[in-house]
Amino acid sequence: MLKTLKAQIGEFARDSILTPLCMIGEVIMEMIIPLMMASIIDDGVEKGDIHHIYVVGAWMILAAALGLLFGVMGGRFGARAATGFARNLRRAMYRNIQTFSFSNIDKYSTAGLVTRLTTDVTNLQNAYQMILRMCTRAPVSLIVAMCMAFSISPRLASIYLVAVVVLGICLVFIMSRTFGYFQETFRKYDDLNASVQENVLAIRVVKAYVREDYENEKFKRASGRLRDLFMKAEKILTLNMPLMQLTVYGCILFISWFGAQMIVVGDLTTGNLMSLLNYCMNILMSLMMLSMVFVMITMSRASARRIVEVLNERSDLADGEDPLTQVKDGGIDFEHVGFAYKKGGEEVLTGIDLHIRPGETVGIVGGTGSSKSSLVQLIPRLYDVTEGCVKVGGEDVRRYDLEALRNSVAMVLQKNELFSGSIKKNMRWGNPAATDEEIREACRLAQADDFIQAMPDGYDTHIEQGGSNVSGGQKQRLCIARALLKKPKILLLDDSTSAVDTATDSRIRQAFAQKIPGTTKIIIAQRISSVQDADHILVLDDGKVNGWGTHEELLANNEIYREVYMSQTQGGGDFDQKGED
């Protein structure tokens, strides 16, 4: 874990080393000052030597200024190292998430990834800064101040020893009590983020179902639980300060009491008593800081683990050695394909054998959950098969360079998305170099040109996040146009015209047949009318091929197909109702 994190310090290694060095400089200056003060009192004030006061005073100012400088520099280096470290972490995580395959993504929740990228990184950033500054400062300050105190008066300094042990025990007790609570808060953060994320993304659904009150209540509970945990932890932590003050004032009282007696009999000078009192503060503050660093480290350990998990996640779709960069044609072959979403899990596709020639149009129909989406997702290698193989252009998809393959296979996902930005910008996701004319051509093919022209800003119309300001059918057509701009050899439409009216749907298919005859087109649809003029139609049932043929052949031989066709032509019905009911 530490090795992975260390690699992310990168160019900020210099700052990370300079910070503790500056902190040591600051401590040394802090330690010298009480000594000088003692000298001013004992050799200057008591002996009436004004010159000595001036000289030592000047050195003291210098030491203080240096101490300040070291402190400021340490702070700056520390901040730079910690923020840089956090930036590197975020970048590395983000970059790695981009390489995730669909099955990697299935493993993490979106909310979980967001928490890891934000809260967890911030935690680690704070902890890192604290560690850089305090991990050397506190122990060095504690030890040096202790040595100084002992060199002045071992008898009085032993009071500190007792105080350190007592305070130490109390702090360990406090920290161990709070640690459990802090651990718990991270789990609650995930819940809270999940709740916010889900709710905000689906805010329209929440409103449609008038679930605001329920959602408010749910959020209130989640944030209330978080508050309770923090309150519990903080309640114990507030004991820190009074405990600290009790010890400090106790020490001062004892030192003054015994010190005064020693001064009277001449065992101690007034100046030395002053220094001792100064070290008192140093020693106990260092102990306090150490305990805080300890809390920080334990608190950030959970965050660090969650970050490293994302950093070390490897995409399970690695390119093979010497990958192919050219897809020969749009032919597709499924050979004895079996597929399960989880290794060793239940197969959602079994024994699939299909051969599709380049340029063919193939329709896929079947009830919901019959694995239509699962089947086509194997073609652009969004998932890998668990058995058999899928070939594109005569070659196993695993032999291709992933980018080359996905550029040749355009897929309009069932749950597709538009991004915030103009229509043109969205279209250029398909092909960054597309000219305006090419964009229009693609939109014409997808029957989107008309409604885009009718919009006030035409192709420069701004699309809101998730495409919330266009209708469902418009969004689907924009997504088809975007896929067409890739000029793919294979076009996969997963229920992509479900929200488009039948007439427009038919015009889209006509345009495809005329304008892109060489492209292999695979169309998943619920409506028979969307696929009936395809070269072949595949009927899927429960992950298995139930029928394969033309519309006429299937009408004659395939029971499922015939029933659904009858029910749809006689009004209503779809693949789940199989026509009987």
Q: Can you tell me which of 199, 298, 414, 529 binds ligand ATP, judged by CB under 6 A? A: 414
Question: 327 φ, ψ to 5°?
Answer: -95, 120
Under rule CB under 6 A, residue 504 binds ligand ATP = no
Applying CB under 6 A, what is the total number of residues that bind ligand ATP?
A: 12
DSSP notation for 268-304: S-HHHHHHHHHHHHHHHHHHHHHHHHHHHHHHHHHHH
Region of 71-79, 140-148, 369-377, 395-403 interacting with Mg ion (CB under 5 A): 369-377
Site membership for Mg ion, residue 414 (CB under 5 A): yes
Select from 136, 10, 23 the least CA-distant residue to 84: 10
CB 73 → Mg ion: shortest distance, Å? Answer: 60
By the rule CB under 6 A, 372 interacts with ligand ATP:
yes
Three-class DSSP labels, 506-574:
HHHHHHHHHHCCCCEEEEECCCHHHCCCCCEEEEEECCEEEEEECHHHHHHHCHHHHHHHHHHHCCCCC
Cα dihedral 370→371→375→378 (10° resolution): -170
| Binding partner of residue 34 among ligand ATP, Mg ion, none, CB cut-off 5 to 8 Å per kind | none
- Full DSSP string of 19-35: HHHHHHHHHHHHHHHHH
Residue with tokens 């239509």, as numbered in its chain? 372
Q: Is 529 in the site for Mg ion (CB under 5 A)?
A: no
- Site size toward Mg ion (CB under 5 A) is 2
484 and 403 Cβ atoms separated by less than 8 Å: no
Minimal distance in Å, beta carbon 377 to Mg ion?
A: 9
Instruction: Give 298 or 414: the residue with its C-beta nearer to Mg ion.
Output: 414
C-alpha angle with apex 378: 538 to 338, nearest 5 degrees?
A: 75
Query: Is 357 strand, coil or helix?
Result: coil
Q: Tell me the closest approach of the beta carbon of residue 560 to ligand ATP, in angstroms.
A: 13
By CB under 6 A, is residue 348 in contact with ligand ATP? yes
Please, which residue, 78 or 367, has the CB nearer to ligand ATP? 367
Residue 276 and residue 252: Cα distance in Å, rounded? 9
Amino acid identity at 515: K
Cβ nearer to ligand ATP, comparing 256 with 368: 368
Based on the shown chain and the rule CB under 6 A, indicate whether residue 341 belongs to the binding site for ligand ATP. Answer: yes
- Provide the 8-state DSSP code for 575: T
Give the nearest distance from C-beta 385 to Mg ion in angstroms. Answer: 18
Nearer to ligand ATP by C-beta: 345 or 432?
345
Which option in Mg ion, ligand ATP, none does residue 269 bind, with CB closer than 5 to 8 A by kind? Answer: none
Closest distance of CB 108 from ligand ATP, Å: 12
Q: Which is nearer to ligand ATP, 271 or 380 (CB)?
A: 380
Question: Which 48-107 residues touch ligand ATP, going by CB under 6 A?
Answer: 106
Q: How far is the CB of 25 from ligand ATP (least distance, A)?
A: 56
Q: In the 8-state DSSP scheme, what is residue 41?
A: I
Binding residue for ligand ATP, selected from 373, 407, 496, 530, defined by CB under 6 A: 373
User: Which one, 195 or 546, has the nearer CB to Mg ion?
Assistant: 546
Q: How many CA atoms lie within 13 A of 318 on its CB side?
A: 6
Residue among 222 and 564 whose Cβ is closer to ligand ATP: 564
* 348: partner contacted, choices Mg ion, ligand ATP, none (Cβ within 5-8 A by kind): ligand ATP
Which residue number, 168 or 369, has a Cβ lying nearer to ligand ATP? 369
Partner from Mg ion, ligand ATP, none binding residue 371, C-beta < 5-8 Å depending on class: ligand ATP
Closest separation in Å from C-beta 401 to ligand ATP:
25
User: How many residues are given for the chain?
Assistant: 581
Q: Is 498 in the site for Mg ion (CB under 5 A)?
A: no
Q: Are 355 and 548 in contact (CB under 8 A)?
A: no
3-state secondary structure 439-488: HHHHHHHCCCHHHHHHCCCHHHCEECHHHCCCCHHHHHHHHHHHHHCCCC
Which of 19, 141, 373, 474 forms a contact with Mg ion (CB under 5 A)? 373
* Residues at the site binding Mg ion, with contacts judged by CB under 5 A: 373, 414
* Residues at the site binding ligand ATP, with contacts judged by CB under 6 A: 106, 341, 348, 366, 368-374, 414
